[in-house]
Amino acid sequence: MTDDTHINPGVLETILETKDELDVFILQEIVTLPMTLMVETLIFRGDKSRWEKHFGQMLDLGKNLTKTNDSLRGYRKTEEASLKEYLEKCISDPNINIILGRRAPELDRELDSFLSGIKSSLDILATILNPVMGLRLHGWHQGKRNGKKISGGEVLNTLENNVPANMKERCQPLHSFIESHLEWLTYLVSLRDAVHHGGGIKTISNLYYRPDKKDVVPQYITHEPNKGEPVRDFMTHTMHNFSMFVNNFICLLYVSQAPNDMVLQRKENPVSYHWGIIQKS
């Protein structure tokens, strides 16, 4: 790491290749936040070892998020080819006059990679707290909340039990923000666990050929009875929402450690980032 923390975004783009708008968001709104918000000065105050560890974790997070986004692009591309191939196969067979389903392992692989990317990004996000707040988290692990095990519960429990009393008020917005998202994140992690430990996700449909319409219905995921959506749509809005979650998480983390007379403010006309840490007026 050089002494100059204002790294040219073009240099980072050689490390994190940007292929779409969401990749650009990850680079500009997440990876470069430590520089744009000047956290080396505001938070680490010259502690080069802690700063370099933190920035290295932010790079790892960015790489993982762009890789996860690449799995989304891979799913879309593979789905397009699979739907076309299956439709041509069914139409070419004059004996097919019933609704016919096909499992698509090539799509399952892309979804598996996507969900694993979400979970590993959460693990990195938890450990990012360590050099900033002096904690010892090893990942986004389960913890009991109100008698129920939920994903990320250990993060909240650690914030409640290991943050100094004089810092708890400053950390409350971060704590509340994490708590408000745990139900959704627990669901995502449960899908990932179903892939790796439960023999696959049971709530995803096959591709279906409909002879009356001469088309193929893509994979659907059912979240609860009578509530489902195409898997590609689920992955698309999940990737967007998760990236926004990470951006807000990091910003709230920084402001929790900034001097007491500094506040977090969303900029009206952002240039390369949405947040600023400014002095109270």
Tell me how many degrees the CA angle 84-21-2 measures, rounded to the nearest 5: 130
Is residue 3 predicted with pLDDT exceeding 60? no
Residue 277's pLDDT band (cuts 50, 70, 90): low
- Does residue 110 lie within any of the structural domains? yes
What is the number of alpha carbons within 13 Å of residue 170 lying toward its C-beta? 19
**Residues 6+ away with beta carbon under 8 Å from 100:** 90, 208, 209, 211
Question: Domain limits at 166?
Answer: 9-279
Say if residue 34's pLDDT is above 60.
yes
Is 21 within a domain?
A: yes
Contact between 29 and 274 under an 8 Å Cβ cutoff? The reply is: yes
For residue 100, list its beta bridge partners. 209
Residue 104 lies in a domain: yes
Greater model confidence, 45 or 125: 125
Contact 254, 39 (CB under 8 A): yes
Instruction: Please tell me the predicted confidence (pLDDT) of residue 102.
Output: 87
Please report whether residue 1 resides in a domain.
no
Q: Which residue has the higher pLDDT, 206 or 15?
A: 206
Task: Report residue 39 CA to chain centroid gap.
Answer: 22
Pairing status of strand 275-279 against strand 142-145: unpaired
Residue 3 lies in a domain: no
Whole-number pLDDT of residue 268: 52
* CB count in 10 Å sphere of residue 275: 21
- Residue-wise pLDDT tens digits, 93-129: 877 776 778 889 999 999 999 999 999 999 999 999 9
Q: What is the pLDDT of residues 227-261, one digit of tens each?
A: 899 999 999 999 999 999 999 999 999 989 987 76
The number of folded domains in the chain is 1
Give the SS3 label for residue 140.
coil
CA dist 8 and 235 (Å) reads 31
Indicate whether 2 belongs to any domain: no
- CA dihedral for 110, 112, 113, 115, sign (positive or negative): positive
37: Cβ contacts below 8 Å, ≥ 6 apart:
251, 254, 273, 275, 276, 277
How far, in Å, CA of 95 to CA of 209, rounded?
Answer: 13
Q: pLDDT tens-digit profile of 193-237?
A: 998 876 789 999 999 999 889 999 999 999 988 889 999 999 999
